Structure 1
């Protein structure tokens, strides 16, 4: 299987965390791919007309995207535990996945706006407000995260917090969400999290 991949993308990291957890990394051929908002990548577009990563190309030529679909495919392929099948555990896992995805969306838009020559202040303020409110809510859920079995929700939230460290270190999010920070410190010792830290290059 071919994976359009980048060491910086939190969504690609989510897929790689799942692959590590499921012992599937050896089945993936990583193709370094740059997906810029203003410069569609023809190589990615051959497999995904949206020019977005991650995109997984299966051995039969079919393509899967986005990260949630790819992660669920890998979990199904391996008969894994990352997506609970029924009941409250399933909805909690999917909710945390959606929460983490939403926070990553906010952070990426915030960073893009921050990099503009003349950032729009009202947008910057809105992104920061949403990020801080999300951290406050997640801080109240740290106990539930700690008590639950590691799954897609945990993986996604780790990616969001890792992206905060990578792109918004000055925010000092750990002082805003100390219980969440303690949970994340434990998660960072997990091999799948440690091995997929975002990096330049």
Structure 2
């Protein structure tokens, strides 16, 4: 299988972290591709009409896209346990959606700051996106620590990659301030071999 990949993407990192945790990195070839919201790769569009990464080309030539779909697929394919059954499943999926939502807002901020000309940037938009991130972090710190301190699942991976992306692109925001429990959890999670093996390039 082939994964269209950019080392700076938190969504791609989420898939790669899961592959490391499953011990199946060798089963997926990374195809690094240059693409942005304003300049989408034609190669990528041929596999994913949305022009977004990650996109996983399976051995039969069909493509899966969106990190949630790809992660669920590889976990099922390789017999993982990152998507538990029963009542915990819905907690796990909600936690994954929270991490992915943080990524969505943080990436949107990055696009506004890095891709738009300075005269066209909207500081109001940037701050509105950060407000979403900040609210989600507060809820994680207040309500989700028992889950995060429990058995590893896809929710942990999503939240961990989201927090790492904030450090990568928005470190000056100091998200740890006032989120002591979440910060302590992340200090342990980011030291995992899977996270260290998937570090993005220097910002």
**TM-score (normalised: structure 2):** 0.94
Q: Quick one: distance in 1 between partners of 2:175 and 2:93?
A: 24
Within-5 A mapping of 1:72-111: 72-85=72-85, 87-111=86-110
Q: Quick one: distance in 2 between partners of 1:114 and 1:14?
A: 23
Which residue of 2 is the match for residue 161 of structure 1? 163
- 8 Å CA contact 1:7–1:200 kept in 2: the answer is no
CA deviation after TM superposition for structure 1 residue 134, in Å: 1.2
SS in 2 for 1:31: strand
Q: Quick one: distance in 2 between partners of 1:131 and 1:146?
A: 18
CA deviation after TM superposition for structure 1 residue 199, in Å: 1.7
Which residue of 2 is the match for residue 25 of structure 1? 25
CA deviation after TM superposition for structure 1 residue 55, in Å: 0.3
**How many aligned positions are there?**
200
- 8 Å CA contact 1:56–1:63 kept in 2: the answer is yes
Which residue of 1 is the match for residue 196 of structure 2? 194
User: Structure 2: 5+ residue runs without aligned partners?
Assistant: none
SS in 2 for 1:11: helix
SS in 2 for 1:113: helix
- 8 Å CA contact 2:14–2:161 kept in 1: the answer is yes
Q: Quick one: distance in 1 between partners of 2:202 and 2:32?
A: 12
CA deviation after TM superposition for structure 1 residue 124, in Å: 2.0
- The one-character-per-residue Cα deviations of 1:3-42 (angstroms, maximum 9, x if unpaired) are 1011100000000011001111101111011221011210
Q: Quick one: distance in 2 between partners of 1:65 and 1:55?
A: 4
CA deviation after TM superposition for structure 1 residue 147, in Å: 3.2
**TM-score (normalised: structure 1):** 0.94
Match of 1:145 among 125, 144, 147: 147
1:62 aligns with 2:62: yes
User: Structure 1: 5+ residue runs without aligned partners?
Assistant: none
User: Relative to 1, partners in 2 of residues 1:176 and 1:51: Cα closer, same or farther, differing over 3 Å?
Assistant: same
Within-5 A mapping of 1:27-42: 27-42=27-42
Q: Quick one: distance in 1 between partners of 2:167 and 2:36?
A: 21
